Amino acid sequence: MATKKNWNKRTRAVHAGTRRSAYGEVSEALFLTQGFVYPTAEAAEARFEALGEDEFIYARYGNPTVRMFEDRMADMLGYADGFACTSGMAAVSGALMALSKAGDHVVSSRALFGSCLYVLEEILARFGVEITLVDGTDNSAWAAAIRPETTLVFLESISNPTLEIIDLAHVCKLAHGVGAKVIVDDVMATPIYSYAADCGADLAVVSTTKHVDGQGRMLGGLIAGSKELIRGPIEAYLKHTGGAMNPFTAWTHLKALETLDLRVRQQSRTAMAIAEALDGHPKLAAVRYPTHSAHPQHALARSQAETGGTVMTLEVKGGKEACFSFLNALELFTISNNFADAKSIVTHPATTTHQRLPQDQKDLLGISGGLVRLSAGLEDADDLIDDLRTALAAI
């Protein structure tokens, strides 16, 4: 379905990109098929020569259910096109690999999700790509690192887990000044509050495992960008290397998009309510939520988005030992390593998601023994705050 220009994101999340079969079904159809048939040999030849709008060849290249999801997500994020992938990391690595070659120079913020850092430092570097890591919160560090030969800039708009905020418009301006492309890992900003397109990022990459699924079931990812980039190097790389999303995942994601706005708005409100309730608590050294006044970069966060997403952090006084007794005393929050689930989750990054990071890098990034990442779910905010207060009292 063609999207009207003045539709709000909430409407786009329900209707954009809908394709109906000859049966006129209301709910999006699940085309669980690998291949497609051709009425004649000539028709097959013609389709391999040039693919029409509604034509498909093989599900590794494209599938009607997956295409609906790609069109809807791209439309919501403010981009012309999208390619859906098996996971967030298939999307991140696909975007980076598709746009890199030996001898290139990539600048990235240092505060990254562990697997993103691995792809840059261990994989791209192995193929002769030079990587420069910078403190993403320091505008002058970006200016110093981006050089005429820089080809790509990579960053997380809000970093996981330390919630560093990057001045995205500033970085895009610097990168475009030398002809480099900007890839934004946009997970923490959430698809509802995403500002990657507004700030001029060339590609926005999303782990749809997080807010889009939102109920802890499916792995998925998506790369959004211009038609030239998506149907050019991105599609070419992904369709030949096999990272395309499964139609069943795309179908569950399409249904999940219908409630995305409600869920993300509510979960963001709850995260802010927890930050307000716990700020200044005597057992906590810090409470961080991007748009809350206790976050050192809250002014920048507020200038970029209406709210800071569904994740916040607490710094428990007394290091790992005190922190573990707090975590073990929680009843409602689940100890896990994912986030953006309907169920509220707590994570201890230093011993789980970032366990393997050398101590000096943990220190540099602020991933301390007392740091807790907290993902606000869909439960009642007062029940969650009670659970946190009770567990803090138990330390």
∠ CA(363), CA(315), CA(307), 5° rounding? 105
CA-to-CA distance for 136 and 165, rounded, in angstroms?
Answer: 8
Question: How many other C-beta atoms can be found within 10 angstroms of the C-beta atom of residue 191?
Answer: 25
Joined tokens for residue 278: 């716990």
The answer to whether the CB of 276 falls within 8 A of the CB of 314 is no
Residue whose C-alpha is closest to residue 27's, from 38, 37, 14: 14
Please identify, using beta-carbon distances, which residue of 161 and 370 lies nearer to ligand PLP: 161
Cβ distance 66 to 244 under 8 Å? yes
- Find the shortest distance in angstroms from Cβ 52 to ligand PLP: 31
Say how far apart CA 348 and CA 122 lie, in whole Å: 25
When binding is defined by CB under 6 A, the residue of 63, 65, 87, 268 that contacts ligand PLP is 87
Which among 153, 152, 175 is positioned nearest to 100, based on CA atoms? 152
Among 70, 156, 164, 213, binds ligand PLP (CB under 6 A): 156
183, 152 in Cβ contact below 8 A?
Answer: yes
Binding mask 305-344 for ligand PLP (x = CB under 6 A): ----------------------------------------
In this complex, which beta carbon is closest to ligand PLP, that of residue 95 or of residue 145? Answer: 95
Segment contacting ligand PLP by CB under 6 A, of 33-41, 206-214, 290-298, 355-363 = 206-214
Minimum CB distance to ligand PLP, residue 104 (Å): 21
Cite the beta strand spans of 71-160 per DSSP E. Answer: 81-85, 105-109, 130-134, 150-156
Shortest distance in whole angstroms from residue 315 CB to ligand PLP: 20
Name the residue nearer to ligand PLP (CB basis): 113 or 251. Answer: 113
- Piece of 32-40, 81-89, 167-175, 253-261 that binds ligand PLP (CB under 6 A): 81-89
In the bound state, the residue with its beta carbon closest to ligand PLP is 88
Give min distance, CB of 15 to ligand PLP, in A.
25
Burial of 97 (0-12, 13-18, 19+ CB in 10 A): buried
Which strands make up the sheet holding 311-316, listed edge to edge? 284-288, 311-316, 371-375, 345-347, 334-335
Q: Which of 221, 247, 290, 349 binds ligand PLP (CB under 6 A)?
A: 221
Decide: is 68 part of the binding site for ligand PLP (CB under 6 A): no
Which token pair is 46? 């013609």
Helices 64-77/247-278 angle, 10° precision: 30
Pick the binder of ligand PLP from 160, 194, 307, 313 (CB under 6 A).
160
209 touching ligand PLP, by CB under 6 A: yes
Judged by CB under 6 A, does residue 120 bind ligand PLP? no
Confirm or reject binding of residue 113 to ligand PLP (CB under 6 A).
yes
Which of 115, 139 has the CB closer to ligand PLP?
A: 115
Cα 276 versus chain centre, distance: 25
In angstroms, rounded to a whole number, what is the distance separating the alpha carbons of residues 209 and 52?
30
Angle value at C-alpha 107, between 314 and 124, nearest 5 degrees:
100
Determine phi and psi for 82, rounding to 5 degrees: -150, 155
Please state, as a whole number, how many other Cβ atoms lie within 10 Å of the Cβ of residue 214: 24
- Residue placing its CB nearer to ligand PLP in the complex, 115 or 226: 115
Least distance from ligand PLP to the Cβ atom of residue 393, Å: 31
The 166-205 site mask, x for binding ligand PLP (CB under 6 A), equals -------------------x-x------------------
Residue among 196 and 392 whose Cβ is closer to ligand PLP: 196
Those residues whose C-beta lies under 8 Å from the C-beta of residue 349, and which sit 6 or more positions away, are: 161, 367, 371, 373
Using rule CB under 6 A, residue 289 touches ligand PLP: no
Closest distance of CB 353 from ligand PLP, Å: 9
CB of 3 to ligand PLP, least distance (A): 26
Nearer to ligand PLP, 96 or 284 (CB): 96
Nearest approach in angstroms of CB 207 to ligand PLP is: 3
Q: Which of 74, 107, 116, 316 binds ligand PLP (CB under 6 A)?
A: 116
Of residues 139, 149, 147, 67, the one with CA closest to residue 101:
149
Q: Does 219 contact ligand PLP by CB under 6 A?
A: yes
Residues in touch with ligand PLP (CB under 6 A) = 87-89, 92, 113, 115-116, 156, 160, 185, 187, 207, 209-210, 219, 221
